């Protein structure tokens, strides 16, 4: 699953030009991902932060763990229980190799604490799905689900939400 884009961003999936013909038992064909980013945007790819000095169009031709723009949460923004879960899952997804296992373990504990404290069965179910996704190495899906919890938490706390 590919990341959803913030307003004003363009995304294109381009067929992999040099892929061999499909064979029996082969995995799905690979596509390249084309992103257009604005000057000043930040993107983290496989744990490395990249800041764009000019408007750029990039093409990812292989699988990569990445987030960009408002998808990236700074440590000081992880100031509520749901945001701490998001930050832990973000570390499990795009952190350096040494940070990823710790991020997943932190997410497990934070999710357990949140589920114990919440009265919402839907929030518990969403967090179960997020943890299952993270443990299946689909942290991007886990982050999407956690953004739903953040929006819920923000409405309860009457606070401005993330995009």
Q: Give the DSSP per-residue string, 52-119.
A: -SS-EEEEE-S---EEEGGG---GGG--SHHHHHHHHHHHHHHS-HHHHHHHHHHHHHHHHHHHHH--
Segment 159-163 shows an average pLDDT of: 65
pLDDT reported for residue 28 = 52
Task: Indicate whether 162 pLDDT > 80.
Answer: no
Q: What pTM value is reported for the model?
A: 0.75
Residue 122 CB coordination number (10 Å):
11
The first and second tokens of residue 76, run together, are 């000081």
Task: Indicate whether 23 pLDDT > 60.
Answer: no
**End-to-end CA separation in angstroms for the chain:** 18
pLDDT digits (tens, 9 = 90+) for 27-59: 555 577 888 889 999 988 888 888 999 998 988
pLDDT reported for residue 20 = 38
pLDDT digits (tens, 9 = 90+) for 87-145: 999 999 988 888 899 999 999 999 999 999 999 999 999 999 999 999 999 999 999 99
Task: Indicate whether 156 pLDDT > 90.
Answer: no
| Dihedral angle over CA of 103, 108, 112, 118, nearest 10 | 60
Residues 133-162 as b or e (16 or more Cβ within 10 Å = b): bbeeeebbbbbbbbbbbbebbbeeeeeeee
User: CA dist 143 to 23, 146, 156, 158, Å?
Assistant: 33, 5, 20, 22
Task: Indicate whether 81 pLDDT > 90.
Answer: yes
């Amino acid at each position: 699953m590919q990341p959803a884009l913030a307003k004003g961003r363009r995304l294109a999936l381009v067929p992999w030009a040099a892929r061999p013909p499909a064979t029996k038992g082969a995995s799905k064909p690979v596509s390249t991902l084309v992103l257009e980013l604005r000057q000043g945007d930040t993107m983290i790819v496989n744990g490395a932060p990249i800041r764009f000095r000019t408007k750029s169009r990039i093409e990812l031709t292989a699988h990569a763990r990445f987030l960009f723009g408002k998808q990236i949460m700074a440590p000081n923004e992880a100031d509520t229980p749901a945001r701490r879960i998001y930050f832990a899952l973000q570390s499990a997804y795009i952190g350096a190799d040494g940070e990823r296992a710790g991020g997943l373990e932190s997410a497990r504990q934070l999710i357990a604490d949140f589920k114990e404290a919440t009265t919402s069965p839907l929030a518990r179910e969403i967090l179960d799905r997020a943890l299952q996704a993270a443990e299946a190495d689909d942290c991007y899906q886990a982050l999407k689900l956690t953004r739903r919890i953040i929006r819920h938490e923000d409405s309860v706390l009457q606070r401005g939400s993330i995009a």
